[in-house]
A = this chain, B = another copy of it.
Amino acid sequence: MDNLARNLAQRVNVGDLLTRSAARSPNKTALIDGARRFSFQQFNTWSNRLANGLSSLGYKPGDSLALMSDNCAEFLVTYFACAKLGAVCVPINLFWRDKEIAYVLEHASVKGAIVGHNRLDQFLSGTQSSAAVCDVFVIGDEFEAQRLPSQFLVRTFEALCSDQSEQEPAHLIDDRAPLSYLYTSGTTSAPKGVVGNHLAVYLNSLGTAIDTRMSDRDCVAAFMPMFHTAQLNAICTPAIAVGASICIMKGFETAALLDAIERESLSVLFALPMMYRSLVEEQQARPRGIASLRLAVYAMAVMPEPELRAALDTLGCDFSLMFGQTEMSPVATFFRPEHQLSHPGAVGTPAVNVQVSIMDDEGRLLPQGQMGEIVYRSPQTLTGYLDNEKATEEAFRFGWFHSGDIGHFDADGILWFHDRNKDVIKSGGENISSLEIEKALYEIEPNITEVAVIGLPHERWTEAVTAVVVTRPGANLDEADLLARLRNVISPFKCPKAIVFVNQLPKTATGKIQKAELRKEFKKFFDNSGSTPER
């Protein structure tokens, strides 16, 4: 038996999700990108042409291709072309600096890159030190080709696809062949290349479709960055798998998004909590017809209960938090609509493909109620970290994937997230969850809009619990008053030793608060702290 023939007939491949949706509903709208609309058939044949174009230039299964672009149809076309060719897609974070871009291009042995015309300067300044990249394909024709260094083969994305066959590429690709190298935005060490494979992303697509009840009746919004696994794999690939439409936007703009919900009858949103806050205000001020909305997914942070209630009232749809990480392809748990108000602040119950447990440092699984590291078993786990078997072995010790997150299961079997492993505050011999204190601060004071609780070096406490707070404009909060009120709701030993008011918190491209940055900034806050009076 011909191995390729058997592989094509039996394999699991993310590209096949698109092939099948195109066969099932060829004329249905797959992608809305500004004034451009593409049916599933157009999307699929475009991906085929790109894959065949790359193939004609010598790209083979296993080769890696960088992708640096704002959200656009071509982004998804490239992702699916890579899947069909067996090439590895390496999305470049648009917030990276030269050094990070250079590191990733080198580390991932990137051979060519597909780059948005408006990102070309940024890309080129990152490639200085990378000898490997030889081909640059530019999305859009608004660039000056002569400006490009001569070592590159440069052509437009359009030229790469044109005159190519629309036939399905036929390459032998294993179920667990690499699909992408996604670099984690490591706040402390060098970024690690998360090797995502076809099976993992495929299963996440089906599982997420089940858990969000996504169907071909949905039209999902895509305004969060596609270079991030959440937008790409937790929203876009499930939508493509079930034949839902995707409305692509370059970023979050409150009024434009509400207009789009009304115009395109969007049914599923994926956004950060702070974005929902702004949608609520805008919708209250200038109401649109948004009855098509059925599910608002959020991520990265829990929504404070009053905000959630306001959002439920004003947007009139279900809310659900997706919790996970790049290494999980990415969804590990869903905080489901039915639990939002009964268990505010939790991160939910396991996704259909994921087993979740709590583990202590010696590899023992802990019973319900006890706090420990959140660990996973799932075919959605990464293959491993690229060229880093040590980190991979460490991550899979004791037969579970170690998330690096700390949490516990409550009596209802619902998971609560406490902190990143390294961010647990060890103060006065106690382990303190920053999340608990953050939640308490939100509850006692509605004028607090954002808060990060961190541990800072302290002579007496080892780490001193410290709250860094952003308030509503005009609000004038008093540190001593806040602390006094806080002591009524949490144990005194958990109470911050100080509250610092700032204008904004440092964040990653995807809105995650960078506690490591805060810890660096305020490192010396408690210097001479031997003399700080105990509160």
Bound Cα distance from A16 to B352, whole angstroms: 10
User: Which chain B residue has the least Cβ–Cβ distance from A243?
Assistant: B352
- Which of A85-93, A307-315, A376-384, A512-520 forms contacts with chain B? A376-384
A6-B396, A206-B352, A399-B8 known; A379 and B175 CB under 8 Å? yes
- Which of A20-28, A102-110, A289-297 forms contacts with chain B? A20-28
Do the beta carbons of B12 and A379 come within 8 Å of each other?
yes
Do the beta carbons of A10 and B215 come within 8 Å of each other?
no
Whether A130 is near chain B, meaning CB under 8 Å from some CB there, is no
Do the beta carbons of A349 and B1 come within 8 Å of each other?
no
A210-B206, A350-B20, A396-B1 known; A401 and B9 CB under 8 Å? yes
Q: How far is the CB of A356 from chain B (nearest CB, A)?
A: 7
Mark interface residues in A331-358 (1 if CB within 8 Å of B CB, else 0): 0000000000000000001101111100
A350-B23, A350-B24, A352-B242 known; A9 and B203 CB under 8 Å? no
Whether A213 is near chain B, meaning CB under 8 Å from some CB there, is yes
A24 — which chain B residues lie within 8 A by C-beta?
A: 349-350, 413
Q: How far is the CB of A336 from chain B (nearest CB, A)?
A: 10
A210 — which chain B residues lie within 8 A by C-beta?
A: 206, 209-210, 215, 242
A175-B199, A379-B11 known; A20 and B396 CB under 8 Å? no
Whether A400 is near chain B, meaning CB under 8 Å from some CB there, is yes
Interface residues of A (CB under 8 A from B): 1-2, 4-6, 8-12, 16, 19-20, 23-26, 170, 175, 199, 203, 206-207, 209-210, 213, 215, 241-242, 349-350, 352-356, 376-379, 381, 389, 392-393, 396-401, 413
Q: For A355, give its contact among B12, B19, B378 (CB under 8 Å).
A: B19
Do the beta carbons of A399 and B9 come within 8 Å of each other?
yes
Bound Cα distance from A2 to B363, whole angstroms: 14
Bound Cα distance from A357 to B349, whole angstroms: 39
A355 — which chain B residues lie within 8 A by C-beta?
A: 16, 19-20, 23
User: Taking the full assembly, how many copies of this chain does it contain?
Assistant: 2
Do the beta carbons of B12 and A199 come within 8 Å of each other?
yes
Of the A-B pairs whose beta carbons lie under 8 Å apart in the complex, a sample of 6, sorted by A's number, is A9-B400, A16-B355, A16-B377, A203-B206, A206-B353, A210-B210
A209 — which chain B residues lie within 8 A by C-beta?
A: 210
Do the beta carbons of B379 and A20 come within 8 Å of each other?
no
Q: For A213, give its contact among B6, B19, B175, B215 (CB under 8 Å).
A: B215
User: Which chain B residue has the least Cβ–Cβ distance from A393?
Assistant: B1
A170 — which chain B residues lie within 8 A by C-beta?
A: 399
Bound Cα distance from A10 to B377, whole angstroms: 6
A379 — which chain B residues lie within 8 A by C-beta?
A: 10-12, 175
Do the beta carbons of A5 and B378 come within 8 Å of each other?
no
User: Which chain B residue has the least Cβ–Cβ distance from A399?
Assistant: B5
Bound Cα distance from A22 to B122, whole angstroms: 49
A401 — which chain B residues lie within 8 A by C-beta?
A: 9-10
Bound Cα distance from A242 to B10, whole angstroms: 24
Bound Cα distance from A378 to B13, whole angstroms: 10
Bound Cα distance from A24 to B333, whole angstroms: 10
A1 — which chain B residues lie within 8 A by C-beta?
A: 389, 392-393, 396
Do the beta carbons of B396 and A5 come within 8 Å of each other?
yes
A215 — which chain B residues lie within 8 A by C-beta?
A: 210, 213
User: Which chain B residue has the least Cβ–Cβ distance from A210?
Assistant: B209
Bound Cα distance from A350 to B19, whole angstroms: 11
Which of A1, A354, A355 has the largest count of B CB atoms less than 10 A from its CB?
A: A355
A215-B213, A242-B210 known; A8 and B350 CB under 8 Å? no
Do the beta carbons of B352 and A20 come within 8 Å of each other?
yes
A400 — which chain B residues lie within 8 A by C-beta?
A: 8-9
Do the beta carbons of A10 and B381 come within 8 Å of each other?
yes
User: Which chain B residue has the least Cβ–Cβ distance from A395?
Assistant: B9
Q: How far is the CB of A303 from chain B (nearest CB, A)?
A: 22
Do the beta carbons of B9 and A396 come within 8 Å of each other?
yes
A20 — which chain B residues lie within 8 A by C-beta?
A: 350, 352-355
Bound Cα distance from A349 to B355, whole angstroms: 33
User: Which chain B residue has the least Cβ–Cβ distance from A392?
Assistant: B1
Bound Cα distance from A12 to B175, whole angstroms: 11
Do the beta carbons of B9 and A377 come within 8 Å of each other?
yes
